[in-house]
Each structure stands twice: as structure tokens, then as C-alpha cells.
Structure 1
Amino acid sequence: MNSPENISLFGHVSGHRPPRPVATQTCGEALVKLLGHYGVELVFGIPGVHTVELYRGLATSMLRHVTPRHEQGAGFMADGYARVTGKPGVCFIITGPGMTNIATAMAQAYADSIPMLVISSVNTTRQLGGGTGRLHELPSQRDVFAGLTAFSHTLLDADELPQVLARAFAVFETARPRPVHIEIPLDVIVAPAQDTASGVAVLPSKPAGAPAALDEASALLATARHPLILAGGGAAGAAPELRALAERLQAPVALTINAKGLLPRGHELSIGSTQSLAATRALVREADVVLAVGTELGETDYDVVFDNGFAIDGKLIRIDIDAQQVMRNFRPDVAIAADSKLVLAALDQRLATRPLPPRVDDWGASRVRTVRAAINAGYDAPIRSQAALFDTVLNTLPDAIVVGDSTRPVYAGNFVFEASSPRSWFNSSTGYGTLGYGLPAAIGARLASGNRPVICLIGDGGLQFTLPELASAVEAAVPVIVLLWNNRGYAEIKRYMVERDIEPIGVDIYTPDFLALARGFGCCAASAHTPAALADELKQAAGRHVPTLIEIDEQKWFDHVPGAPA
């Protein structure tokens, strides 16, 4: 060949590579160093021809890279990691299809206020918006993701990188945590970048709340005879402060799904996550002052029966890091836009110096016992049977983190499961409500959990969305435990169709041999259809260094545990 150019396997002319600066770090290398300075430990991504320059400095850094089998898996892994640690999960994602693949994971994280940093490539600066049919081209990639993020930014100058990253980590640290997207044009990734030694910014302090609003809120709580607390995932970092205030007030506490564990399992003031049930709703309406902290007061926590039956009749105090959210769904009498941990501590300190009215005998712990008894008596046989599954898990692995998908036992667990600590129960049945979340999110959670076991609770339909991520778990040596609830199809949707006199179509899907598939991926696999068998398999799985899939046949479980006592 006379031409000095060669065609690579990717179909690109290899002689037209962007220039590589000599003895100078590139923007891609500077990015890796800055992420390390901000405490990032893990990066999830699938290298592609448009992102390889982000990897130039990765091999010599302290950051670990985990390769999922799909960019949606990368996003869900980052989500699970972030929920356990409270720190942002970070992804390196290729232009175009990689970004549209991760969009669902970003939307789930956005809905549940999860910190996630998505770094993507994009076509060169002179090609942006050109519509000339370039590889992976979108009309405006940034605009596509603006609605799924706290902000989406195109980096047009390498020296701008420290400032943009500082903005991202300011969101994660002091604002409502949500995904941030930074796209870097191909020519900027390889551009010379300034030294990163002084690039890490001093982040702003968390807002503590206006003193006047704190005084007004403490005055209301000090005179309340029937105080009650509604706590959400926004209070996940404030467990000691929430417990101290609840015990001082002798206030019943209802926890959203993402707030499970803020009060320890079995605490006498915990109503659990039962805000959609009649007994809890009645209790909330009796309260003369309701303190709602870190909660949207949204449908997927307070109205999963979709009857608009949740109401607050007393005075409402709302605490939220997001000033706009304070005004949504239920209008407060006192609004405090600030960090939950700081505000709860400040309120408790104020109340410690004030006399509180005597609590009536039928409030506080005694009323919680009555409400919980009524709720437990109302559970049907399937929920009681699935409660036995959770009893088995907790008795066998009491410190386990349970990561769920959208599946029948997860819906039951949202009511009956009591976590041992915050950030120990989360799933995709809330907020955005996607299928396929459970497995990759559990992998991310296990990477973050230290020695704590992580259980993925997923249905046969949901697992088929992200089944190849079993290979990612084996490759990364992540010993996640997959509890597969197999009812051979989309059983919940089928039931929903039948209840509405709709002929079921599209719900009786083909069910593969999951045990054989799991073994083919390099996992251990077994079935367990009784509590005793499940306990034995969980013990074995907890001692392994590879993933384990444990299949539970729904009908066999119900046959062996028919309406077990709650």
C-alpha cells in the first residue's frame, strides 16, 4: 500500500489520530487524577473507540475499573454503590448509544435523589450539532440528558475541568443529590490540561436552616400532644438525630422505603413503611403536628394503592434540602430548606431546654403497638408467606443489605421488611420503577459493602433484563447472592390485567433454566423452596467468593409456607 494510512478494525483511519501532547498530561489524564483527589474509588464503564483516552491514566491510578455488560448495568451499579456509601457512583460512557443505554439508570437515580457522575465523550467541538452523520452523533447529547440530571455540561476547554467537577461535587455534597453529566469532546479529551494538584475545590457547607424557622418549628413541636414524624431517604445520614428527637417527643415514626433502618429493627416508635395502609393513615390524621423530613410525600411511598387516601390534618413542618420540593404535594406550615441531620440536631437541642406537655397514654409507643397489631392482622396469606422469607434472611444473615427489583416479594417487603440500619434496603419499585435494576445495583452495593453480604431479590422477568451482568460479577469477583423469585412470567401484571377484565397478553413469557445459565456464567446455583433449605443455601453462599443464584419457585414456597404467621 502506498498510503501511509491504515484502516483499523473499528473502521477508522488510524493515521488520523488526534495529536498526543508530549510530556504534558491530557484532559483525560487530569480527570482521572481529580476524581481520585475527590475520593472516587470505582469507575464503571465499557471502553469504546470514543472513550479510550479517558482510560490513558486509569491503569496507573488508584481507581478500580469494573466492566458491566451494558451501559444500563453501569448506571445501576453506580446507583447501588452510591446508595450504600452515600458517595457518587462514577461512570465512563461512550458517545451516543452508550449514553442512551444509561438513560434509564440515570432516570431512576434522578427520581430517588442518588448521586451519580456520568462522564461521556462527544464528537469534536467543530462537529457538535453538525448533523453530518458522524459516528455516535446525536443532534445535542447534552440537551437529551439535561432533564435527567442536576446539570449536563459540555466541556469546551480542558482548563475548565476543575471548575466543572467542583460544581458536580458541590451538588453531591450540599444540594439534593442527583446525576450530573459532563461530556468531553474528542479533541478536548486529548488537549493539554493544567496541573491538578490545586484543582480540588473547598466545597460549601451544608445549609443548616434559618434560625427563625427552627424556632417556629420547635415551638410547634413543644406544644404538640400528638406529634408524628414522617422520614424519607433524604434523612438517611441522620439516623442518630432522628432517633433522639423521636424519643424526646415520643412521636410515632413512619419510614419511607428508602428510609428503612433509620430506627433500629423493632424500635417501639417505628410504624414501619405502611403509609398506604388504613391504620397508619388514621394515625397520621390524628397527629396535631407532623414533622416530614427528607421525604417527597410522593405516591410510591404514601399511596401505592392509588386511592389518594393519604392526608395530613395537623400542622405540617417540612425539612428538605430542596427548597422546591418543600412546596410540592403537601403545603407546609413551617418550611425549612436545609440538611436533615443539622436541622434535626438543632430542633432536639432547642427542645431539650423547653418543657414538653405530658404524653397521653394512648400515644407514642402504646399507639404504635396498636397500629402495628392492626396492620399485621390485615396481611393476606401471600404476604405472610413472603414475610417468612424475610424472617429467614434476617435470621441467617442479620446484617445483609437487600437490593430489590420490581417483583412480588419486594412489594411485600416494602411493607414487612425492617432493615438493621440505614442504606440496607432499596429497590426499583419506587420512583421511576424500572425492571432489571436489582442485579447490577446489588453488584455495585456489594463492591461498597465491605464484608456485609448483599442479596439481590429479583423476579424471573426482571432478571432477564440484565442477566449478562452475572458475568460482570464473576469477572470482578463480587460474591453477590441472587434470590430469584420465579413465578414464570410477569405475574403481577397478569393479575392486574385479570382484575380489570383484560385478556392477558404478553405476560406468560418463556422461562429459561436459570440454574444452568448461572452455572454457565461461572456462578454457583441451587434451588430452595422452604425456609430451612433457604437458610442452608444462604449460609453457604455467604462463605463463597463467587456469586450464587438461589432459585425459589413461588408456588412451591407458598405450598410449603401457606400463610405463615407474621
Structure 2
Amino acid sequence: MTCAQHLIQLLGAYGVDTAFGIPGVHTIELYRELPGSGLRHYTPRHEQGAGFMADGYARASGKPAVCFIITGPGMTNIATAMGQALADSIPMLVISGVNATSSLGRGQGRLHEMPHQRETLAGVSVFSHTLLDPAALPEVMARAFAVFHGARPGPVHIEIPLDVMAASMPVHLCHSTPPVVPAFFPPAPAPQALALASRWLDEAQRPLVLMGGGSASAPQAARALVERLDAPTLTTINARGVLGHHHPLDLGCTATFAPIRELARDADVILALGTELGETDYDQVFDGGFGFTGKLIRVDIDPQQLARNHFASLAMVADVSLTLDALAECTTPAHRQGADICHRLRQRLDLEQQPDLAPYVSLFETLDASVPEAIIVGDSTGPVYAGNFLARRSEPRRWFNAATGFGTLGYGLPAALGASIARPDLPVVAIVGDGGLQFVLGELATARDLNHPIAIVVWNNDGYDEIRRYMTHDKVEHLGVDLKAPDFRSLSEAFHCRYAAVSAPDALGDALEMLQHAHSPLLIEVDALRWMNGAA
């Protein structure tokens, strides 16, 4: 058995069933083993697309996917997608080739040779490892899945030299089929910490809950706890839908607004669960104005994260799902008029009338009416920025985007394709700008190949409007932002996608109805100027 063959078997043993990649001479041994392995393989048109597809697959399914990537340019291409996954704690296993062991570090100008490839990728991964001995493969894979299942997840990179990939495994490692792999159990909260946290929460007069992406795997436990505490709750972008569609205690991702900042400062106990408390969730005006005066209880699977951004009075290294269940059992049911407090705050916020948000309200009302159960995946574009405040989902893992955090362009379409692979039972909508879509136009061919019912909503404002508005505000002459968009109707025809042009909510609703009648991708071009003028 070769190292490559054993690697494919190990992936199956760990429950990985989906791979993304573009074959090359440096990964040919991996592809030799794929037929009949049970591992589904999808080919994007660019390695960055492979990474974004794996990211979308993981967010929608909660499971890691694997990417098979050639050395050199393949790895520099996927590095951006790995950076996005690292920023948002998304599990992704990147397996790359590298030149033969005898040539490593010698600078001989070999095909795809990149000096210090492992070190280059270490900055966008939890760890990057060069496999020099086939016998070490089970150990390195176990480390990767320990990260995915027992620590703060993120991308892991394993590079394998060509000669090692084709080398034979030691006989003693090939006896069992499938291979035996360890079972990982994440850390549970310490009893002493639970006791102190529950006492503080029981004694609190004005508790506040901050629910981050770490809670996405436990929506029922999250709802049970906040209802038991009867506490107003902020849910971050990656926790959207954890409490359901219109939960009376859910204030969404509104920490940027003055009434919510007052609520946070007035809270006597704050419970932060699986959230890094970063500025793109809590301080989107970037003025440092979000803070606390009460006791802060932080729960995170990453001990270092507990010391970042805001000082914790009580820091618990634990899995959020286990902590939610435990706190729901040991806290006392309370009646603090939490729903009334949230109702009054929503009236004060009046998000639908905020000048920057109001033009997009009808967009999300139309999406709710036409595709209520859809997974909505966004790029960095105006409707997605607004949707981070306005959008509501009935379940977690149905709203995610690259508009904040690492904030890469070109994410929306390939990530939506990955989500569609993970959840073929649900419609998927990608919301992208004309500028961002042009980063990844080739992935329209991948969408055509998949033939899934995915809607690609293109917000066409002829350029980079977000930066254009910043330039206008700062009295900077427009340069590099006024770009003429391509003819999206012709592109749709070239890629065998259905097409619709819309400029108003009714037309968008009619176009989305087309998703029900065929499985080919649907590109919906929104004339942004006419939409905004109609909403004004």
C-alpha cells in the first residue's frame, strides 16, 4: 500500500467524503486512488475556488472537506481561501504535493518549486507540516483532526514530497481496513467554573448573552439557555439563525448601534460563548465604543482567545455545546422581562428606517418570501453588509459571507457551490457584486457542471461602490473603482446558465420562482441604481 492510498483510506475513516481540487503532476498519485474510494471529487476552475468551496461546504455541513492542491502556484492560489477559513475558524484539510525529498531546499528550478512552501503556508493555517516519512502519516492526520474536533478549528496544510507519496507504507500500519482512528472528545467545562458562572448568572439583574459562531452546532441548547436566563442576546454574523427566525430575545448583530452599546455597558453579567469579540461583529464603525462594566464570563475552546479583545472575569476553556447544556442544567429559571427589553430596543434601533439599510429591506423580505429555507452566501457587497444587520434565518449555517473579518472578494459564488454540495436538499443563493464576481467568473463553469438549483444574485453597480463611497466621503478622486461590468446575459448563455434581469422586488421574486422549475444555475442581475432609486 502506498502512502497516497493509505491517505485516501484515512480520510474515509475520519468521515471525510468530499474533496476539491485541480489535478496536476504533483498530486497524480492521490488521483490514482480516488476511483472507487467513496470520496466525491469536484473540480473548480482555480485553486482559490477549491478553498472557498471547501469553506462553504464546511460552514453548511459542519464537517471538514479536503483540498488536493499542487505545489507552488496551486498553494499560493489557495492561500487567500485558507486565510478566510483561518479568520472564521473553518475546518479545512489542504493536502499538497511538493518536489521530491532529494531536491527540497536546493533551489534547482524544478517544476512548481517554491522556496519554503511550508513556512509560506504556516501563516494561513493552524499548522503546516512536511511529511518526510510514510510511517508518520497516521500521526499527522490525527493531529489535523484533533484540531478540527477538539480545538479551535481552521485550515491544516500537509505537504507530501512526490517520492513519499508513492512510497510503500510500513506493513504493520496496513492491517486494518478501514484504518483505526482515534475518537476525539472536546473539553467539557470545569465544575468549579460552572458553579461560579451559574451563581453569577443567577444573581444577575441585567444579564446579557453574546452568542458567537461556536454555538452554531447547538441551536436547541442555545435557545434553552437564553430562555432560561430570559436574557437579551446578541448573535454574531456566524451565529445567525442559532435562536431561530424571529426569537424574542435575539437582537442579532447590532452591537455597533448606540442603544445596544448602552445595554452592554449597563449589563452586570455578560456571558460570551464561542465569540472572539472582534470589531467586525461588535464595532463595525471602528471607534472602540463597545465595552462592558459588568463581569464578563467567556467560554471558548481556544485558551488564547479568552485573553483577546476584552478582559474576562471568568475564562472557561471548553466546548460551547457542552457548556450550553451544562449551564442550562445548573442555572435557575428567571423572569427578567427579557422579551420586553428586546422589543423596546428594536423600536429604538428601527433598523428598517436606517438610511444605509432601508434600500435593502425589500431585498431580504423578498428572499424570505421566495426562498425561506435557503442558505444565503455573500461576498463583500452592499446588500451583504446590510444583510448582516437585516437578514434572519430559521436555522444556523444558513447565512455566512466574507464581508467582514478577513474580507476577501470572490468568496460568494464558490462558497455557495460548496454549500450546495453539502446541502443539496436546500436552495442556495449567492449574493455577489459585479466586481467580486469578476474575481471568479470561471466558477460559473463549475456551477454549470454541478447543475444544482443555485441562484447567483449579482448586485451590479458598475464597479467597487463601497470603496467609491469611501473615496467620496474622504474627498478622494475616484480612481480604479469605476469599472464597466461585463454583459452578464451573454456570460450566462456562454456558461449555460439561466438568466434574469431585475430592478425591483416583484421582479426578483418572480425570478427566484424559476429555481423550482429546473436544476441549472440561475444568474439574476440586479440593476443596483434603479433598485436604490425605487427604494428611495
How does the TM-score come out when normalised to structure 2?
0.97
Q: 1:383 aligns with which of 348, 357, 371?
A: 357
Of 317, 321, 342, which residue of structure 2 is paired with 1:337?
317
2:14 is aligned to 38
Counterpart of 1:86 (choices 19, 39, 62) is 62
Q: CA deviation at 1:381?
A: 4.1
Deviations, residues 142-184 of structure 1 (Å, cap 9, x unaligned): 1111121111111111122122111111111111011000101
Structure-1 residue corresponding to 2:161: 185
Provide, for residues 6-55 of structure 1, a one-character-per-residue CA deviation record: whole Å limited to 9, x for no partner: xxxxxxxxxxxxxxxxxxx2211221121112111111000011111110
CA distance in 2, matches of 1:270, 1:61: 44
Give, in whole Å, the separation in 2 of the partners of 1:548 and 1:329. Answer: 42
Check the 8 A contact 2:9/2:179 in 1, yes or no.
no
**Match 1:527 to one of 501, 515, 528:** 501
Residue by residue over 1:294-340, the C-alpha shift from the partner in whole angstroms, topping out at 9 and shown as x without a partner, is 00000110111111110111110000010000110111111101000
Shift of 1:542: 3.5
Which residue of structure 1 aligns with residue 205 of structure 2? 225
Which of the residues 68, 80, 89 maps onto 1:104? Answer: 80
How far does residue 382 in structure 1 lie from its aligned partner after superposition? Answer: 4.8
Q: Which residue type is aligned with residue 264 of structure 1?
A: G
Instruction: Select the residue among 10, 31, 53 that pairs with 2:29.
Output: 53
Instruction: Tell me which residue corresponds to 2:512.
Output: 538
Residues 441 and 276 of structure 1: is their aligned pair in 2 closer, same or farther, counting only changes over 3 Å? same
**Aligned residue number for residue 482 of structure 1:** 456
Say which SS state the counterpart of residue 418 (structure 1) adopts: coil
For residue 406 of structure 1, the aligned residue among 380, 383, 401 is 380
The equivalent position to 1:291 in structure 2, one of 271, 275, 287, is 271
Q: State the partner residue of 2:38.
A: 62
Please, what is the CA RMSD of the aligned residues? 1.3
- Which residue number in structure 1 is paired with residue 526 of structure 2? 552
Does structure 2 conserve the Cα–Cα contact (< 8 Å) formed by 1:208 and 1:343? yes
Percent of aligned positions with the same letter in both sequences?
Answer: 55
What SS class does the counterpart of residue 457 from structure 1 fall into? strand
Structure 2: runs of 5 or more not aligned: none
Contact 2:273 2:300 (C-alpha < 8 Å) held by counterparts: yes
In the TM superposition, residue 131 of structure 1 has moved relative to its aligned partner by 1.2
- Secondary structure in structure 2 of the residue aligned to 1:197: coil
Alignment equivalent of 2:92, drawn from 116, 119, 141: 116
Deviation string 1:396-446 (CA, Å, 9 cap, x unpaired) is 111001000000000000011111110010000121000000000000000
Q: CA deviation at 1:510?
A: 2.2
2:465 is the alignment partner of 1:491: yes
1:529 deviates by 1.4
Q: Give the 3-state SS of the residue equivalent to 2:245 in structure 1.
A: coil
Indicate the SS of the match to 1:121.
Answer: strand
1:65-118, Cα deviation, whole Å (9 max, x unpaired): 110000000000000000011111210000000000000000000000000000
- Kindly indicate whether the alpha-carbon contact (under 8 Å) linking 1:174 and 1:205 is maintained by their aligned counterparts in 2: yes
Correspondence 1:234-253 to 2 at 5 A:
234-253=214-233
Q: Is the 8 A contact 1:170 1:203 kept in 2?
A: no
SS in 2 for 1:262: coil
Number of the residue aligned with 1:454? 428
- Report deviation, 1:240: 1.2
Could you report, residue by residue, the CA deviation over 1:503-549 in whole angstroms, capped at 9, with x for unpaired residues?
A: 11000012110121122111111112121111111011233211110
In the alignment, the residues of structure 1 paired with residue 518 and residue 143 of structure 2 have an alpha-carbon distance, to the nearest angstrom, of 41
**d(CA) in 2 for partners of 1:176 and 1:493?**
33
Equivalent in 42, 45, 51 of residue 75 of structure 1 = 51
SS at match of 1:282: helix
Cα distance in structure 2, aligned partners of 1:132 and 1:171: 35
Rg (Cα) greater in structure: 1
Residue 154 of structure 1 corresponds to 130
TM-score by length of 1: 0.92
Name the aligned partner's letter for residue 400 of structure 1. Answer: A
* Unaligned residue ranges in structure 1 (runs of 5+): 1-24
| Aligned twin of 2:300 | 320
| Conservation of the 8 A alpha-carbon contact between 1:245 and 1:348 | yes
Find the aligned partners of 2:444 and 2:268 in 1 and give their Cα distance: 50
Q: Partner of 2:376: helix, strand, or coil?
A: strand
Matched, 1:144 2:124: no
Q: Is the CA contact (8 Å cut-off) linking 1:162 and 1:199 kept in structure 2?
A: no
